[in-house]
Structure 1
Amino acid sequence: MLRKKVYLDPPKILVLGFGLIIVIGAFLLTLPASTANGQGLPVLNALFTATSATCVTGLVVVDTGTTFTMFGQITILCMIQVGGLGFMTFATFFAFLVGKRISLKERILLQESLNNLSMEGIVRLTRRILIFTAVIELVGAVLLSIRFSFDMPIGKAIYYGIFHSISNFNNAGFDLMGEFHSLTSYVDDPTVTLTVSALIILGGIGFIVMNELFEYRVSKRLSLHTKIVLMTSTVLVVVGTVGIFLLEYSNSLTLKPLSFLGKILGSLFQSVTARTAGANTLNIADLTQSSLLLIVLLMFVGASPGSTGGGIKTTTFTTLIGAVWSQIRGKEDVIFYRQRIEYETIYKALTVTFSGLFLVMLMTLILTISEHGQDFLAIVFEVTSAFATVGLSMGLTPELSPVGKALIIFTMFAGRVGPLTIAYAVTIRRKPDAFRYPKGKITIG
């Protein structure tokens, strides 16, 4: 009797691939060698940490710097690197090492994994991604190691420099500073603040954009995608920086005690890190409610397609803004830089935004029940941070109940893989409609 062949399309493979990495990572973190107390993490905490690392989120139920041994920390770092670049990118890297030819199916998976519009040149792009990553993380590690060497032994400084460079380029936000302090002791330090901000921004703009900027010296042209990503990213960073600066200027718990330069650096870093990084130089719980709401909005938008970050993505946000503006002006088409956005793209942007908003609202509703007594804003902040794979928290993460941890685990996974990808993965193989129904009219507004 012949067995029916199981068809695994790219969404299913991506979901299963990320799931497998999380399971392996969680198992390693339960080993006695992973924790300083020699007992390993409890299963649920290990699963939470592995999901947070693989989905490059940064939410933690235990302190990374004091809980884990070097073996545990390196395990987390490996999950961050694989999760940030995508397991297909790493599979391709090993194929390069052994001289294996990349098959058509693997190229399709790479295209899906990198969210690239075309399969043309996908292997060359993957090779460049690996080179970009190695160079950027190396430069970041050197700069941070030099700065940390003034505060700690040189060996420890180098290790910290490497860890924090990889963690922040991949927009993960894990840190080794201890006691959940993140980078708060460097709030007014230009070297650490600007280096880490640069790592976060480079990791968040997306490898497609990075590759186009690299080729610009020859091509002298940028695609519409790259123009929108650069424009939107710049506007969001500036708006976030100015907003946090004004809202926190007189807050004695955050910016008020700092010098003018320190205020600017603190505002800039919190604006940048809200774009899915997770490290922080100001205590998030001390921010005003206005700043927290602003950060929630920035987190929900997130980084850009094909990057190490999450959120609904900058291009999705800008497409919807363009659609609304076109409707207000009575225009039929959405135009950016003298180019028309296709209706299919607008529908997809609307679907991504609605599915993300629905997930955040649903998880928030359930958490208000499971985490009864917790501050509502803290729950909204936590859920949005998990969905957008940011990692910022008002301090709720370590206090989550087992049910709360399980919900945040699912939210982090859905945010990294994408709600639509999960939906495609669990549905039957999609087929085009055989016919179309007649048009109907309804009133809107």
Structure 2
Amino acid sequence: MLSNAVRRPARLIPLAFLAATLLGTLLLSLPVSTAGPDGAPLLTALFTAVSAVCVTGLIVQDTATYWSFFGQCVILLLFQIGGFGIMSGATLLGLMVKRRLQLSSRLVAQQETRSLGLGDVTGVLRLILLVTLGVELTVMAILTAQLHVRYGQPLPEAFWNGLFHAVSAFNNAGFSTYSDSLMSFVSDPVVLVPIMLAVIIGGLGFPVLYEFRRDQRGRPWTIHTRITLWGSAVLLVGGMAAILFYEWGNPDTLAGMSLGDKLLSALFTSAVARTAGFNSLDVGQFEAQTLAVHYFLMFVGGGSAGTAGGIKVTTFFLLFFFIWAEIRGNADTVAFRRRISYQTQRQALTVLFLGSLTVAIGTMLLLSVTKLELGVVLFEAISAFATVGLSTGITADLPPSGQLVIIALMFIGRVGTITLATALALRSVTKHYRYPEERPIVG
């Protein structure tokens, strides 16, 4: 049975995430994990463990006050495992011990990293380790120094807060050791900019980062890297412009700020809206139009094979190129002078459909068990599915059935709709025949 799972890594990945979730739930249920004398209720521990492993950041209890130092360490470990990729971490461990990879290990790692070929997996996994440690340590050092020098935090406290936020930012987890997330640092670029850069780097995806190293050898960028970089830039700048436009005169968000602070806050909000879950502004006070902008940014998410969630930047822009080709009447879908295969287009459509269906079902279920407005419920459902972690403040007020719906959305969103569907499939069938073709009327 184990050998069969290894031959089909898409089945093994959901099981690995489930195992990490169960272990995290057990640890967070212990009395030592909470600041109070009693352990956390099972649902609270389960919700927090799923949110951490799935690098989401939605919480039902304040991370800063409800969990003890041990509990916060468990949460940090869980979202480090979730962001790093359980399969990638296991393969890296085997690489460091044996100094080489077996074919089965390469196949498992490739499913999680989605690297372009088996020959690239070793390099991608090495890069994961180097980039993870490099970014997290750099951001930790900057935050520690700023928290200690400017804000007067004792060095051990500043170090822990810096480490926690650095790891949380790179893994796009959105967990914070402050009750108001990063709202206290809304005007501090020394805190917000490093966190934002860590979020962006982690959200690009490791295959893109691997392309940077390959590009130094004179090789051209792949279509995946081009779409991810250009698409991320468009979403970042476009989201910033939309947030500035809608929130400029909002007295509860940007209205009272200087021009520099407005630009910084809008840029930071646009960056974290696509998966990170931190907030320097009160999300509950956003205009309805800004929430609608967040629907789109959260659902699209970040780059493939990174720490970001959503349907991914490449999926969205591949569909854009596909629609553009249909409008122009072109038989081929072309992006950056490269023809996109029909199989890739089908995969993108499948991801979009399954993602939309999952959010729709989750929203209807939440509406069925609460009396909340559609806008805030939809925001919560998209945030959970896209593993973003932003909330208008309703998460803790959801009934147990509503929290279970959010748990399911977070798990499905992290594991991936296609990966989960493949894992649940009993077998794949290759048909040796094709039915006659017929074209129904469309539209």
Query: What's the TM-score once normalised by structure 2's chain length?
Result: 0.97
| Equivalent residue number for residue 97 of structure 2 | 98
| Equivalent residue number for residue 230 of structure 2 | 231
| Equivalent residue number for residue 197 of structure 1 | 196
| Equivalent residue number for residue 424 of structure 2 | 426
5 Å-filtered alignment, 1:355-366, equals: 355-366=354-365
- Show CA shifts across 1:230-288 (max 9, x none): 00000000000000001000000000011101100111111000110000000000000
1:156 Cα offset (Å) = 0.6
Are 1:157 and 2:154 an aligned pair?
A: no
Whole-Å Cα distance in 2 between the matches of residues 441 and 92 of structure 1?
A: 47
CA spacing shift, 1:5–1:274, aligned 2, 3 Å: closer
| Equivalent residue number for residue 75 of structure 1 | 74
5 Å-filtered alignment, 1:186-225, equals: 186-225=185-224
| Equivalent residue number for residue 247 of structure 2 | 248
Q: 1:391 aligns with which of 370, 373, 389?
A: 389
| Equivalent residue number for residue 314 of structure 1 | 313
| Equivalent residue number for residue 414 of structure 1 | 412
- Show CA shifts across 1:394-419 (max 9, x none): 00110111101111101000000001
CA spacing shift, 1:5–1:201, aligned 2, 3 Å: closer
Q: 1:7 aligns with which of 4, 16, 19?
A: 4
Query: Letter of the aligned partner of 1:408 in structure 2?
Result: I
Whole-Å Cα distance in 2 between the matches of residues 340 and 97 of structure 1?
A: 39
Whole-Å Cα distance in 2 between the matches of residues 101 and 339 of structure 1?
A: 35
Whole-Å Cα distance in 1 between the matches of residues 282 and 77 of structure 2?
A: 27
1:44 Cα offset (Å) = 0.7
Whole-Å Cα distance in 2 between the matches of residues 252 and 87 of structure 1?
A: 44
Whole-Å Cα distance in 1 between the matches of residues 204 and 100 of structure 2?
A: 29
Equivalent position SS for 1:436: coil
Structure 1: gaps of 5 or more residues: none
Whole-Å Cα distance in 1 between the matches of residues 96 and 286 of structure 2?
A: 48
Whole-Å Cα distance in 1 between the matches of residues 99 and 27 of structure 2?
A: 29
Please say which of residues 10-19 and 422-431 is displaced more in the overlay: 422-431
Whole-Å Cα distance in 2 between the matches of residues 5 and 417 of structure 1?
A: 19
Query: Letter of the aligned partner of 2:4 in structure 1?
Result: Y
1:6 Cα offset (Å) = 7.5
| Equivalent residue number for residue 442 of structure 1 | 440
| Equivalent residue number for residue 170 of structure 1 | 171
Whole-Å Cα distance in 2 between the matches of residues 219 and 413 of structure 1?
A: 40
- Show CA shifts across 1:292-312 (max 9, x none): 000110000001111001100
Whole-Å Cα distance in 2 between the matches of residues 220 and 375 of structure 1?
A: 51
Structure 2: gaps of 5 or more residues: none
Whole-Å Cα distance in 2 between the matches of residues 349 and 148 of structure 1?
A: 43
Query: Letter of the aligned partner of 1:24 in structure 2?
Result: L
| Equivalent residue number for residue 120 of structure 2 | 121
1:127 Cα offset (Å) = 1.2
CA spacing shift, 1:200–1:5, aligned 2, 3 Å: closer
Equivalent position SS for 2:334: strand
5 Å-filtered alignment, 1:275-314, equals: 275-314=274-313
Aligned residues: 439
Whole-Å Cα distance in 2 between the matches of residues 417 and 118 of structure 1?
A: 21
Equivalent position SS for 1:335: strand
Whole-Å Cα distance in 2 between the matches of residues 6 and 163 of structure 1?
A: 37
Whole-Å Cα distance in 2 between the matches of residues 6 and 384 of structure 1?
A: 36
Whole-Å Cα distance in 1 between the matches of residues 41 and 101 of structure 2?
A: 39
CA spacing shift, 1:16–1:217, aligned 2, 3 Å: same
Q: 1:378 aligns with which of 354, 376, 397?
A: 376
- Show CA shifts across 1:11-62 (max 9, x none): 1100100000000001000001100003121111111000000000000000
Are 1:273 and 2:275 an aligned pair?
A: no
Please say which of residues 112-121 and 351-360 is displaced more in the overlay: 112-121
Q: Percent identity?
A: 40
Are 1:48 and 2:47 an aligned pair?
A: yes
Equivalent position SS for 2:49: helix
Equivalent position SS for 2:216: helix
1:216 Cα offset (Å) = 2.1
Equivalent position SS for 1:360: helix
CA contact (8 A) 2:115 2:124 kept: no
1:128 Cα offset (Å) = 1.5
1:100 Cα offset (Å) = 5.9
Equivalent position SS for 1:234: helix
Equivalent position SS for 1:120: helix
CA contact (8 A) 2:384 2:409 kept: yes
1:105 Cα offset (Å) = 1.1
1:220 Cα offset (Å) = 4.6
1:118 Cα offset (Å) = 1.4
Q: CA RMSD in A?
A: 1.2
| Equivalent residue number for residue 33 of structure 1 | 32
Whole-Å Cα distance in 1 between the matches of residues 99 and 203 of structure 2?
A: 30
1:386 Cα offset (Å) = 0.4
Whole-Å Cα distance in 2 between the matches of residues 393 and 26 of structure 1?
A: 22
Whole-Å Cα distance in 2 between the matches of residues 303 and 362 of structure 1?
A: 23
Whole-Å Cα distance in 2 between the matches of residues 213 and 363 of structure 1?
A: 38
CA contact (8 A) 2:206 2:306 kept: yes
Query: What's the TM-score once normalised by structure 1's chain length?
Result: 0.97
Query: Letter of the aligned partner of 1:90 in structure 2?
Result: G
Query: Letter of the aligned partner of 2:175 in structure 1?
Result: F
1:5 Cα offset (Å) = 8.4
Whole-Å Cα distance in 2 between the matches of residues 297 and 157 of structure 1?
A: 35
1:333 Cα offset (Å) = 1.1
1:92 Cα offset (Å) = 2.0
